Amino acid sequence: MKKKIYIGSGWMHEQILWLLPLIYGYAKKDNIKEIIVEKDLDKELVKKNPNLNFFFKEFKITTINKPKKIYVLLSGIINFFLILKIYFSLNHKNILSHKLNWTFSQLLHGSWDQINISKKDNKDISFFKKLKIITYGVYKFSLAKKLSAMNVSAAFLSHSVYYERFMLASFREEKIDTFCQAITGIYKQKIKKDVSWSDVKLELFYKFFKKQKYINAYWKKRLKGKGNYQTANYSTNKNQKLNVEGNFNLVLLHVFKDSPFNVIDRKRILADYFHWINETLKIIKDSDEIWYFKIHPIAKKWGEDQVKVFDYLLKKIYKKKPKNIVLIKYEYSNLRLISSAKKIITFHGTAHVESICLGKKPIVIQRSPIRKISKNVYIKPLNLTQYRKYLLSKDLKQFLVSKKETQIGKTFLNIRENIHSLTHRVKRIEYYRKDSKKLGIRSFNSVKKTMKQKPNLNFFINQGKLLSQKKQTHTLNN
């Protein structure tokens, strides 16, 4: 049976514009003639983009339509005991266990993710809703098995979280080459552990580490809010005249319902963003220092009222609101806050890299992709006792990095935003769930215009070939 490629669900229209040329290059190099998609590629999209015709002329497209409820139900009956096992295993102890079977751990994380995002006003959802979520996840897990039996040799998923995590787990069991998307880029997953979109190869890092003038020039742009990461620019440019003074520690929040499991770190000490803030608030009950909690720059755009969520978590721990805990409710430059703070705490993400660039050693919960270059530029507690010790410590020297280490941070940030991310290459405009439809249309038109240019089309075709030849694990901007 001839090899096939599977394209998963959840891709935005603008992503399809660069994904199809990439898959074309991958398939041509591997002599693949059939593509399986989970739903019809939008016909209107194709009509309006005649430059994509070459893709549809080259391949046989097989569509898996949205499943009828009866098929999901049948899958639920067949996998009844697996569904119950997942349901009764959903707790902090199991979600943090590194002793569980790797596949089952992924199914737990996918279920945990989807249940979290389904909650309203921080209220738990019903037993039946949870069961429904797990049942559909297990259906996706089974679907990936069927695709393997159809001789799918490579799968392209729109991300690695929520329901797509079920498919990723299944494809891994079948040893199918699986690629995920993040920050307008494609990267290949390993079988036994997760790969991050910003896992930088050492050769690439040291190639750029030598170019200090270039690295420092980009960092200067970044400080002015003119870098290639639009969310960071928004944060830097907002409320520049606002002054935050005094001695304080800084906790940089994440969007609570967003998934922290793009990479599953099985050695982390806290389950998710809710668990992290809950335990952090418990610890700083014993602190006499000032603690600023900063809402995430895209929280409102994402559709989350972080003031409401934070107040809910605060009331669970404190009967009366403490004077030394301050929630920064309005957007304000992360860079300015980090520069002034004594200690920086965050789960993971861009802010911990920015801290390193600014000479601060952040405390993080999840493993950092920068660890392959240096494990000395951040602190990752091994247990809650150690976490408590760091949060309450008055020895501030341990939270600083050397001048050379700040250069490591700046180099890593540069590669992350300019080489691993292709957002600026395709001229995508960042937008989120609660942004206006007009912004989404603007972004689509911008990408469409960019992808009409032959050099960009050829670039993505070539990236697909390089991934197929195993010369790259990530798409890389040239």
| Residue ranges of domains in the chain, CATH in brackets | 4-65+423-468 (no CATH), 69-188 (no CATH), 202-420 (3.40.50.2000)
Confidence of residue 236 (pLDDT cuts 50, 70, 90): confident
The DSSP result for 380-398, as a single string, is --SSHHHHHHHHH---GGG
Rounded distance between C-alpha atoms, residue 31 and residue 39, angstroms: 23
Structure tokens at 255: 């969007």
Write down the pTM of the prediction.
Answer: 0.95
DSSP code, position 51? G
Structure tokens at 144: 């990936």
Structure tokens at 193: 């552990």
2 close to 33: Cβ distance less than 8 angstroms: yes
Per-residue model confidence as pLDDT tens digits over 11-46: 999 999 999 999 999 998 889 999 999 876 766 676
Rounded distance between C-alpha atoms, residue 230 and residue 232, angstroms: 5
Mean pLDDT of all residues belonging to the chain = 93
Number of alpha carbons in the 13 Å side-chain half-sphere of residue 206: 6
pLDDT of 240 > 90? The answer is no
Phi-psi region of 223 (alpha: psi -120 to 50; beta: other; left: phi over 0): alpha
Rounded distance between C-alpha atoms, residue 450 and residue 84, angstroms: 48
Per-residue model confidence as pLDDT tens digits over 196-216: 999 999 999 999 999 999 999
Per-residue model confidence as pLDDT tens digits over 356-395: 999 999 999 999 999 999 999 999 999 999 999 999 999 9
Rounded distance between C-alpha atoms, residue 203 and residue 149, angstroms: 38
Residue 43 pLDDT = 66
Rounded distance between C-alpha atoms, residue 451 and residue 359, angstroms: 39
Among candidate residues 256, 230, 247, 202, the one with its CA nearest the CA of residue 374: 202
Residue 64 pLDDT = 86
Query: Residue 105: CB partners within 8 Å, gap ≥ 6?
Result: 97, 264, 266
pLDDT of 71 > 90? The answer is no
Q: Which amino acid is at 405?
A: E
Per-residue model confidence as pLDDT tens digits over 426-471: 999 999 888 899 999 999 999 999 999 999 999 999 999 999 999 9
Cα angle at 395 between 393 and 400, to 5 degrees? 110
Among candidate residues 294, 363, 299, the one with its CA nearest the CA of residue 326: 294
Per-residue model confidence as pLDDT tens digits over 346-367: 999 999 999 999 999 999 999 9
Cα angle at 280 between 277 and 281, to 5 degrees? 85
Quote the percentage of the chain above a pLDDT of 90.
82
Q: What is the mean pLDDT of residues 224-249?
A: 83
What is the signed CA dihedral for 186, 407, 409, 306, rounded to 10 degrees?
-120
Rounded distance between C-alpha atoms, residue 427 and residue 412, angstroms: 22
Q: Which amino acid is at 348?
A: H
